[in-house]
């Protein structure tokens, strides 16, 4: 579904990502793991058109992503939830969710999707009229996911979904991620939280210093000695 080949990203003269390749097949959860500063977020931002791509290609359902404006990617079903505070603090929960269905594709089924989201996250329904900035960390992450779901994604990208959250909430989040996959939405996530991510993911890539050093099925990677090594170096 999503295929990235030899992606290179640079900030001016400073190159950060060196020829990264990965795939996200349909109905699967793929994780990109690695220590801080490895270039995970940079890769995602470049993929979504928020950073210039120096070289390489990326296709989503056959269409090239490089050069495509970000909002059009969302329109085609490629939705990313950025790291932390992905919701708009100055809008209410409902306004945020409503805004989530901004694209023409998601607009018609807005009401129905909203009901689905409230079903998945009853806490959000309770706090409909509250300003997103006043929610707790876990609630805000749920709002971020809910908002992304409003866009009726075909592939959902999550940047560090577990960051700054309590373990119980993290478990719930990963539960939701599995649920999303089961409903037919593919997932790509970037994580530092190795254990949970590898348990949930079908396939994983380890990114270190801007390059993929290892890849494999989730269970394989868990056992892999190199993964242990990278983990220890965190």
Partner 1 sequence: MRRSVTVVATVVTLGALIGIGIFSDSQHILTLSIQTMVLAALASSWNILGGFAGQISLGHAAFFGLGALIARELWLGGTSLAVAVVVAVAVTSVTSAVVGVPMLRFREIYFAIGTLALGVAVFITAGNLWPGISSLPAEALRNYDFTGPYFMALGVLVVAVVVSIWLKRSKVGLGMMTVRDDEEAAKATGVDVFAHKMIAFVVSASLAALAGSAFAYFSVSYYPNFPFSVIWTLEAILVVFIGGVGTIVGPLLGAVFFIVGRDALPTDIDEFQVVLFGLLFIVVVLLLPGGLIEAADRLAPSKKRETPRPQQTNRQQDKGKELT
Partner 2 sequence: MSSQLILQSLVSGILVGGIYGLVALGLALAFGVLKVLDVAHGELVMLGGYASFFAFTYWGLDPFASMPLVFVVMFGFGLGLYLLLFRYVTRTEIRTRIKNSLLISFGLVLVLQALAVRFFTADERTISTAYSFEAFTIGPVRVPVVRLAGLVVAVVAAVALEWMMSRTRFGRALRATSEDWTRAALTGVNVRRVYLIAFAISAALAGIAGSMVSLGYSVSPNIGLGWTLNALIVVVLAGLGSMRGIVVAGVFLGLVESLAGVWIGGQYREVAALVLFLVILSFRPQGFFGRAHA
- The residue ranges that bind partner 1 (CB under 8 A) are 10, 13-15, 18, 21, 208-216, 226
Does 218 bind partner 2 (CB under 8 A)? Our answer is no
Q: Measuring CA to CA, which residue among 36, 41, 2, 29 is closest to residue 190?
A: 41
Judged by CB under 8 A, which of 69, 122, 184, 233 binds partner 2? 69
| Minimum gap (Å) between residue 26 Cβ and partner 1 | 20
Reading the block at residue 162, the tokens are 């577990």
**CA–CA distance, 91 with 134 (Å, rounded to integer):** 10
Does 130 bind partner 2 (CB under 8 A)? Our answer is no
Q: Which is nearer to partner 1, 18 or 60 (CB)?
A: 18
Asked if 45 and 32 touch (Cβ cutoff 8 Å), the reply is: no
Q: Measuring CA to CA, which residue among 81, 8, 74, 14 is closest to residue 46?
A: 8
Does 71 bind partner 2 (CB under 8 A)? Our answer is yes
Binding mask 15-54 for partner 2 (x = CB under 8 A): ---------------------------------xxx----
| C-alpha distances in Å from residue 145, one per residue of 65, 95, 157, 229, 230 | 23, 14, 10, 32, 29
Does 111 bind partner 2 (CB under 8 A)? Our answer is no
**CA–CA distance, 13 with 140 (Å, rounded to integer):** 36
Reading the block at residue 21, the tokens are 């390749």
Does 84 bind partner 2 (CB under 8 A)? Our answer is no
Reading the block at residue 126, the tokens are 């309770």
DSSP β-bridge partners for residue 207: 212
Q: Which is nearer to partner 2, 89 or 223 (CB)?
A: 89
Does 88 bind partner 2 (CB under 8 A)? Our answer is yes
Judged by CB under 8 A, which of 28, 35, 102, 120 binds partner 2? 102
Judged by CB under 8 A, which of 46, 79, 142, 207 binds partner 2? 79
Asked if 131 and 90 touch (Cβ cutoff 8 Å), the reply is: yes
Q: Which is nearer to partner 2, 104 or 122 (CB)?
A: 104
Give the residues lining the site for partner 2 (CB under 8 A).
48-50, 69-71, 74-75, 79-82, 86, 88-91, 95, 98-100, 102-103, 106, 147, 151
């Amino acid at each position: 579904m999503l295929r990235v080949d030899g992606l290179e990203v640079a900030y001016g003269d400073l190159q950060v990502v060196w020829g990264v390749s990965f795939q996200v097949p349909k109905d699967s959860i793929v994780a990109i793991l690695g220590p801080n500063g490895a270039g995970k977020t940079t890769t995602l931002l470049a993929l979504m058109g928020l950073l210039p791509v120096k070289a390489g290609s990326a296709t989503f359902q056959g269409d090239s992503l490089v050069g495509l404006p970000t909002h059009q990617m969302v329109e085609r079903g490629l939705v990313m939830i950025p790291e932390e505070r992905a919701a708009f603090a100055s809008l209410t929960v409902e306004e945020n969710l409503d805004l989530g269905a901004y694209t023409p594709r998601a607009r018609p089924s807005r009401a129905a999707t909203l009901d689905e989201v409230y079903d998945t996250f009853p806490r959000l329904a309770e706090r409909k009229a509250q300003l997103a900035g006043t929610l707790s960390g876990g609630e805000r992450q749920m709002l971020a996911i809910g908002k992304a779901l409003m866009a009726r994604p075909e592939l959902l990208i999550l940047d560090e979904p577990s960051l700054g959250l309590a373990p119980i909430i993290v478990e719930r989040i990963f539960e939701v991620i599995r649920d999303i996959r089961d409903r037919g939405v593919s997932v790509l996530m970037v994580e530092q939280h190795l254990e949970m991510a590898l348990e949930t993911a079908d396939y994983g890539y380890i990114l270190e210093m801007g390059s993929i050093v290892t890849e494999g099925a989730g269970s394989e990677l868990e056992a892999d000695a190199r993964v242990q090594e990278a983990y220890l170096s965190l």
